[in-house]
Structure 1
Amino acid sequence: MTEYPPQSSAPGPQPVSPEDEKTMGILMHVLAIFFGFLSPLIFWLIFKDRSYVLDQQGRTALNWNISVIIYYVVSLILAFILVGFLLMLALVICHLVFSIMAAVKASERTIWKYPLSIPFLKLA
C-alpha cells in the first residue's frame, strides 16, 4: 500500500482574469505618478505569481520608478550649478508622459518598456 502526502486544502494562487489584468495594469502605472515606486511594488508583489502580464508590467514600472528616483538625486546634486532645475522639470514631464503611455499599453494588455529606465529587474 502506497501512502501519499496529505493534500493541502488551500488552493494555489488564482489566475487573474484578462479584464482584471487590464484594470490592475492601468492602476499600477497611473498610481505611480502620485505614489512613486510604492504602488508598482505593491501591485507586483500581489500579482506576480498570478499573472505573467502583471509580473512583467510590474517589473517595468519598478525599473522606471527606481530609475526616476536616481535621476532626481542626480538632478538635485546638479541643481547647485543650476542645470539640475531644468533636468527636474524634464523628469517631471517624462515621468507623467511615460506613465500615461504605459497605462495606455496596459489597457491593451501589452508590456511597454519605459525609455531611459535602468533594468534592475530583468524581464522574461
Structure 2
Amino acid sequence: MSDPNAQTPNDPNLSGRPPQPPYQSQYPATPAGAAAGLTPAKDIEWGSYAHLGGLLGFVPALIIWIVFKDRGRFTDAEGKEALNFQITVLIGYVASTVLTVVTFGLLSWLFTVIWIVSAIFSIMGFLAAKEGRNYRYPFALRLIK
C-alpha cells in the first residue's frame, strides 16, 4: 500500500520553497460584464468631452455616450444632450446640401454658418459641463431620451 502522506513528484513543496499565496489584484474585482463606475471628476470630464467632440461631428458624442452612459449619470445626461444636438446639426447639413443643389450653389455658405453655430454651442456646452453644470442647447431635436 502507498503512504497517503508521501509527496508525489508533482508536489510544489518538493522544491523546498514555501507555497506562494494566490495572486491578489490591488483593484477590487468587478463582476463579469459590469463596467466600473466613474469617479465624480471623471464623470464631469467625460460629460464635457461629449460636448467638445461636437467640433468633429456626432461620432465623438455617440462613442462617449455609448461607452459611458451606464458608468456615470452626468456623462449619460450630457452625452445624450450633445448627441441630440449633433444629430440636429447633421440634419441641418443634409438640408443645406439639398438647398445648395436646388439653388445651384447659391446657398453653399450655409455649411459654414451651421459649422460656426455648432462650434459655438459645443464650446459653450463644454465650458458649462466642465464646471459640473448641465447644459441644454437652445435648439435640438430630443430624439434620444
TM-score range, shorter chain: 0.7 to 0.9
Number of the residue aligned with 1:43: 64
Contact 1:41 1:58 in 2 (8 A): yes
TM-superposition CA deviations, 1:35-54 (whole Å, max 9, x none): x1111111111111111111
Cα 1:61–1:83 shift into 2, 3 Å: farther
Name which of 43, 50, 67 aligns with 2:88.
67
Provide the C-alpha distance between the structure 2 equivalents of 1:89 and 1:33, rounded to a whole number of angstroms.
13
Amino acid at match of 1:50: R
TM-superposition CA deviations, 1:85-120 (whole Å, max 9, x none): 232222111111000001001112222111221110
Contact 1:44 1:55 in 2 (8 A): yes
Number of the residue aligned with 1:117: 140
Provide the C-alpha distance between the structure 2 equivalents of 1:83 and 1:30, rounded to a whole number of angstroms.
31
Provide the C-alpha distance between the structure 1 equivalents of 2:60 and 2:79, rounded to a whole number of angstroms.
9
Displacement over 3 Å in runs of 4+: none
Matched, 1:13 2:35: yes
Number of the residue aligned with 2:14: none
Name which of 80, 85, 98 aligns with 2:121.
98
* Structure 1: gaps spanning 5 or more residues: 1-8
Contact 2:65 2:76 in 1 (8 A): yes
Number of the residue aligned with 2:107: 84
Q: Which has the higher contact order (CA 8 A, sep 6+)?
A: 1
Matched-pair identity in %: 31
Helix, strand or coil for the counterpart of 1:85? coil
More helix by share: 1
* Structure 2: gaps spanning 5 or more residues: 1-29
Amino acid at match of 1:19: A
Provide the C-alpha distance between the structure 2 equivalents of 1:111 and 1:16, rounded to a whole number of angstroms.
17
* Structural RMSD (CA): 1.8
Bigger CA radius of gyration: 2
User: How far did 1:70 drift?
Assistant: 0.6
Name which of 18, 37, 44 aligns with 1:22.
44
User: How far did 1:25 drift?
Assistant: 1.9
Amino acid at match of 2:88: S
Provide the C-alpha distance between the structure 2 equivalents of 1:54 and 1:83, rounded to a whole number of angstroms.
40
Name which of 18, 22, 33 aligns with 2:55.
33
